[in-house]
């Protein structure tokens, strides 16, 4: 028997829970033509090997499945932990969004205040611009009036000095004094008018200045409000930036956790999907991962066909012993002239009888036992050659040793039954039988019959050996007749 283990045995044995899982084919080859019983023993042995391998692989598969389920449980635990982290991240994200919403509300309020302050600033700036526009001509008029006042004051000062001089020089001249006094009154009136003009201008300037101050105060208030709103806006913007950064970090953490969770769930899902939808091939492989395939180049239909070579050889040898017991090959029917004449009186009858016995046996195998040999004619010829070989051997021992020779042939047949490997392989016998096995005539006959019945090998070596044995024992028979011929002649006289 030859068992072929595939090169991919280990790799195939480790393919668990895949849709491409197929049984591992363990091929064994037997030759039932050599020994049908050995083939049956080989089949039993291979079946036991298959059972043992199935058991070992089943244990390995169960361990692998247990380890996979354990890893799956750990992955689910990790997924649950990641889910909790994701939940916390979502809560933090929700809190950040709420804070961002509040900050955005504050920003919107600050922006509204800023817009209001800017509108007020624009209105007061317009009032300020109008007042400044009105103030510019008045300031010009004020400057002109002041210049006129200074000129009149200079004239009054000069007139006063001149009046004093004139009063001191021309005190008696009243006419001149009146004229001068008239001029002085006229100048005083002009001076008074000139004085009133700067006062009016000053009053108008004061009014415009007050209006300007009044317009500046709301502007200052609006600017203060604008500064406060800008400060609030800056603070809110900073808070918003901080919240946005935290929101980005939280979103990244959530994305990372979601990716890990998705990978774990995807892996677990694939494993659970494969495990939950096994194919018929997977189930069969898990139960019986080893599949036996058997080839036998010989054609042995049953145990009878397998045992026929051995039983044919035994029957032919027993037939030769029986023939020599029944028929006396020692005494001739008449006085032989020579050893050759004696041989011609006895041995042809032996060959005829054994040929007939072999024919009867072979026809009985074909008709009664329904033997279907691979080479029928060659098998029949080998039957005849075998019985002639056995007959030549048994006859010589009977001629040479008498009843002792018959007993020796019976003993030799028993030895051949143990060493011919007709039932069990010779490897199951002891060393002595293994040593004599190749040289036993029955071993040679059994091998020849196995070749002609089922194997189909050439039997030329067996034919040559048996031919030489027939020739050798017939020569020994002639020699025996030659030695016994003088004694036979004396006895008959």
pLDDT digits (tens, 9 = 90+) for 125-143: 577 567 657 756 665 665 6
Reading the block at residue 467, the tokens are 């031919």
- Average pLDDT in the chain: 76
pLDDT tens sequence across 77-113: 776 787 677 777 667 767 766 776 676 677 567 667 7
Say what the pLDDT of residue 184 is. 47
Q: Kindly report the number of other CB atoms within 10 A of residue 124's CB atom.
A: 20
Least confident span in 326-330, 417-421, 447-451 = 326-330
pLDDT reported for residue 62: 77
Structure tokens at 149: 């006042």
How much is the pLDDT for 350?
Answer: 94
| 201 compared with 163, residue with greater pLDDT | 163
pLDDT for 191:
45
Q: What angle do CA 343, 345, 348 make, to 5 degrees?
A: 80
Q: Within 10 Å of residue 274's Cβ, how many Cβ atoms?
A: 15
Determine which of 49-63, 87-101, 334-348, 364-378 has the lowest per-residue pLDDT on average.
Answer: 87-101
Could you tell me the sign of the dihedral formed by the alpha carbons of 160, 165, 166, 172, in that order? positive
Check residues 467 and 191 and name the one with the higher pLDDT: 467
Predicted confidence band of residue 405 (pLDDT cuts 50, 70, 90):
very high
CA distance 43 to 41: 5
At a CB cut-off of 8 Å and minimum separation 6, what does 390 contact?
316, 317, 319, 320, 354, 441, 445
Among 112-121, 318-327, 421-430, top mean pLDDT goes to 318-327
Nearest to 258 by CA among 82, 88, 81, 97: 82
* pLDDT above 80 (res 368): yes
Integer Cα distance of 135 and 207 in angstroms: 10
| Res 222 pLDDT > 60 | no
Mean pLDDT of 379-395: 97
Which regions of 5-64 does DSSP assign to beta strands (E)? Answer: 24-29
Min mean pLDDT across 84-93, 236-245, 396-405, 483-492 is at: 236-245
**pLDDT surpasses 70 at 394:** yes
Check residue 118 and give its pLDDT.
62
User: Would you state the structure tokens that stand for residue 461, as one six-digit string?
Assistant: 């070596």
Which DSSP category does 4 fall into?
E
| Contact between residue 163 and residue 180 where contact means Cβ atoms under 8 Å apart | yes
Q: Which helix (DSSP H) or strand (DSSP E) does residue 2 occupy?
A: strand 2-4
How large a percentage of the chain has pLDDT more than 70?
62
Helix, strand or coil, per DSSP, at residue 25: strand
Phi-psi region of 117 (alpha: psi -120 to 50; beta: other; left: phi over 0): alpha
* pLDDT tops 50 at residue 290: yes
Q: State what percent of residues in the chain have pLDDT above 90.
A: 28
The residue ranges of DSSP E strands in 160-203, in sequence order, are none
Hey, what are 181's tokens?
A: 């006094």
pLDDT tens for 298-345 read 778 788 888 999 999 999 999 999 999 998 888 887 888 888 999 998
Question: Distance between CA 273 and CA 257 in Å, rounded?
Answer: 23
Does the pLDDT of residue 24 top 50, yes or no? yes
Dmax over Cα atoms in the chain, in whole Å?
Answer: 246
Short-list 42, 35, 40, CA closest to 423? 35
SS3 347: helix
- Tokens for 203, please give them: 């009053």
Cα-based distances in Å from 170 to 164, 173, 177: 10, 5, 8
The answer to whether residue 39 scores a pLDDT higher than 80 is: no
Residue 141 near residue 190, CB atoms below 8 Å: no
pLDDT band, very low/low/confident/very high, at 205 (cuts 50, 70, 90) = very low
Q: Average of pLDDT values for 35-59?
A: 81
Q: What is the CA radius of gyration of the chain?
A: 71
Q: Is the pLDDT at 416 greater than 70, yes or no?
A: yes
Q: DSSP label at 77?
A: H
């Amino acid at each position: 028997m030859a068992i072929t283990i595939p090169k991919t045995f280990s790799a195939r044995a480790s393919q668990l829970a895949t849709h491409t899982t197929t049984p591992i084919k363990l091929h064994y080859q037997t030759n039932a033509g050599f020994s049908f019983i050995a083939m049956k023993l080989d089949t039993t042995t291979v079946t036991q090997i298959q059972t043992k391998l199935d058991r070992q692989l089943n244990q390995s598969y169960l361990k692998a499945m247990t380890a996979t389920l354990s890893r799956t449980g750990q992955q689910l635990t990790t997924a649950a932990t990641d889910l909790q982290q994701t939940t916390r991240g979502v809560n933090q994200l929700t809190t950040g969004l709420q804070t961002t919403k509040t900050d955005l509300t504050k920003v919107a309020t600050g922006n509204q205040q800023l817009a209001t302050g800017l509108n007020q600033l624009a209105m007061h700036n317009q009032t300020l611009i109008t007042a400044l526009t009105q103030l510019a001509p008045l300031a010009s008029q004020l400057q002109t009036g002041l210049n006129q006042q200074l000129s009149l004051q200079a004239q009054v000062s000069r007139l006063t000095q001149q009046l004093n001089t004139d009063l001191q020089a021309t005190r008696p001249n009243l006419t001149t004094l009146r004229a001068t006094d008239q001029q002085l009154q006229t100048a005083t009136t002009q001076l008074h008018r000139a004085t009133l003009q700067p006062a009016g201008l000053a009053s108008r300037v004061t009014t415009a200045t007050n209006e300007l101050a009044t317009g500046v105060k709301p502007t200052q208030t609006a600017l203060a409000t604008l500064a406060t709103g800008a400060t609030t806006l800056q603070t809110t913007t900073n808070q918003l930036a901080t919240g946005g950064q935290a929101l980005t970090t939280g979103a990244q953490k959530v994305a990372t956790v979601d990716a890990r969770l998705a990978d774990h769930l995807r892996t677990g899902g694939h494993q659970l999907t494969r495990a939950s939808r096994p194919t018929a091939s997977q189930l069969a492989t898990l139960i019986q991962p080893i599949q036996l395939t058997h080839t036998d180049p010989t054609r042995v239909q049953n145990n009878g066909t397998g045992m026929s070579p051995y039983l044919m050889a035994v029957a032919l040898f027993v037939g030769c012993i029986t023939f020599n017991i029944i028929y006396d090959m020692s005494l001739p029917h008449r006085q032989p002239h020579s050893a050759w004449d004696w041989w011609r009186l006895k041995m042809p009858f032996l060959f005829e009888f054994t040929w007939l016995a072999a024919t009867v046996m072979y026809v009985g195998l074909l008709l009664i036992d329904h033997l279907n040999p691979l080479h029928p004619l060659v098998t029949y010829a080998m039957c005849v050659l075998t019985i002639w070989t056995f007959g030549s051997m048994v006859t010589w021992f009977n001629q040479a040793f008498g009843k002792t020779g018959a007993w020796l042939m019976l003993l030799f047949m028993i030895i051949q039954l143990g060493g011919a490997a007709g039932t069990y392989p010779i490897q199951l016998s002891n060393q002595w039988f293994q040593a004599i096995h190749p040289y036993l005539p029955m071993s040679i006959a059994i091998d020849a019959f196995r070749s002609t019945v089922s194997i189909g090998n050439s039997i030329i070596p067996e034919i040559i050996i048996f031919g030489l044995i027939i020739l050798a024992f017939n020569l020994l028979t002639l020699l025996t007749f030659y030695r016994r011929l003088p004694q036979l002649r004396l006895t008959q006289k």
